[in-house]
Amino acid sequence: MLERRTEHMSDKLESILAAAHDHATQVVTPNVDAWNAAKAWPRDASDKAGAAGLMGLYAPEAWGGEGLPLSEGIQVYEQLGLGDGAYAFALSMHNICTFAGCGYGTDAFKEKWAHDLTSGRKLANFALTEPQSGSDPVKMYTRATINDDGTWTISGSKAWVSLAAEADIYFTVVKTSDAPGHKDMAMIAIPADAPGISFGKPYETPSYNYLPMSEMYLDKVVVSADNIILPIGQGLQGSLMAIDIARVSIASGCCGLMQAALDTALAYSKNRKMFGGKNLDLDGIQWMLGEVATDLEVSRLLYRKAAQALGTPEGPLMAAHAKRFVPDAAVKATNTCTQVLGGMGLLQPYGLDRLSRLAQMLRIVDGTTEISRVVIGRALQKRAAGLPDLPVPKGFGEEAADAVPVAAE
């Protein structure tokens, strides 16, 4: 029985990855420049992603999902990243919300929303960050109060909301009191058509104008208790788990982005004639692209190991390693591949300028690489505390110690 299930999941993953690859190369890549020019989310494209099984990756099959474990489903974004990193990012956030809704939502919520989310007929996004508190979610001002009839009234604002005014529901983290800390935090799904919800002017972004991002304003928005995803006391913990999944998903998407940049540089340099031969025959070009290829292989191994660690005590640290290393490698890779094309690398049809800007964006969203360094640094401090002190060699530093005056008591 276990072998049959394992074989079934392996076949399903292979099929889903093939569908994601086809979607990236046939739907995203040929159209992304037109999407950016139109500055509008391509709903027809995400509808096709839903039909291909890409919008309910981790949700149970009973609710229309694919039932993939996180460690496997996250590989989809590497394929989608071949087309566009921002598109992969948007679908990853939808899948995280769908996973949360189908896994932790109330029965009433799942009955109303689950099949629409897993099919992609309805889009979801996550709202945690606030204008005045980016990487410190505990300093949150959005408040939710519970009414006598069990409904919740929510007021506040969120920043950097993806699919702003485009998603159909927003999984929003709130505080339920003015007490400091996170023990009063919860997550509730707010439908886009709820009275009192509005959005600011879309942010002006350099290379992903089709992905709407803006602030979201909540003015006494009343939501049913059926929409509680994580109850009071579990909001921050659930949010941190969602962020870990997002960080590994971003690393996965960056690998697709790096592959796209590398393939562009290879396709160009294999035919570009220079100094009596082809660019790709030059040692300097081979070394530059060889370093990109090595970084890509390392990045794949790292994000896949991080994906396997999600949900374990090592998950947050591994997610930080992946988010720290892989987007940085993507920035370096896209810059290197642009350099290989020389002046041609600056031209829009080759797409390397877009990939470079996307790589920089992915270094920042869902926790900057500096925040990941903080997480890694704290883990190193804990490890250091558990190590035995190294002995000081006899006589070492004694003269210096004698030279230091002792303060009078």
The reply to whether 132 and 214 lie within a common domain is yes
Same structural domain, 73 and 147: no
| Gyration radius (Cα) of the chain, Å | 24
Same domain, 32 and 89: yes
Residue 168 placed within a domain = yes
Which CATH number characterizes residue 377's domain? Answer: 1.20.140.10
- pLDDT tens digits, residue range 203-219? 988 778 999 999 999 99
CA distance 101 to 122: 13
Which H or E run includes 224? Answer: none
Quick one: what percent of the chain has pLDDT higher than 70?
93
User: 173 and 116 in one domain?
Assistant: no
Domain interval for residue 328:
243-385
pLDDT(290) > 70:
yes
Regarding whether 224 and 255 lie in a shared domain, the answer is: no
Residue 162 lies inside a defined structural domain of this protein: yes
Amino acid at 279: N
Evaluate whether residue 53 is within a structural domain.
yes
What is the token pair recorded at 353?
A: 């300028």
pLDDT of res. 279: 79
Of 58, 87, 122, the last residue of a domain is: 122
Is the same domain home to 185 and 55?
no
pLDDT tens per residue across span 220-267 = 999 999 999 999 999 888 989 999 999 999 999 999 999 999 999 999
User: Considering only CA atoms, which of 375, 274, 387 is closest in space to residue 320?
Assistant: 375
Contact at 8 Å (CB) between 203 and 213?
A: yes
Residues 177 and 104 in one domain: no
Has residue 200 been placed in a domain? yes
Q: What is the pTM of this model?
A: 0.90
> How many H-runs (helices) and E-runs (strands) does the chain carry?
13, 10
User: What total of structural domains would you count in the chain?
Assistant: 3
At 38-80, the pLDDT tens digits run 999 999 999 999 999 999 999 999 999 999 999 999 999 999 9
DSSP lists the bridge partners of residue 23 as none
Domain shared by 140 and 113, yes or no = no
Burial of 12 (0-12, 13-18, 19+ CB in 10 A): middle
| 210 and 251 both lie in a single domain | no
Same domain, 101 and 157: no
| Same-domain status, 173 and 191 | yes
139 with 188, same domain: the answer is: yes
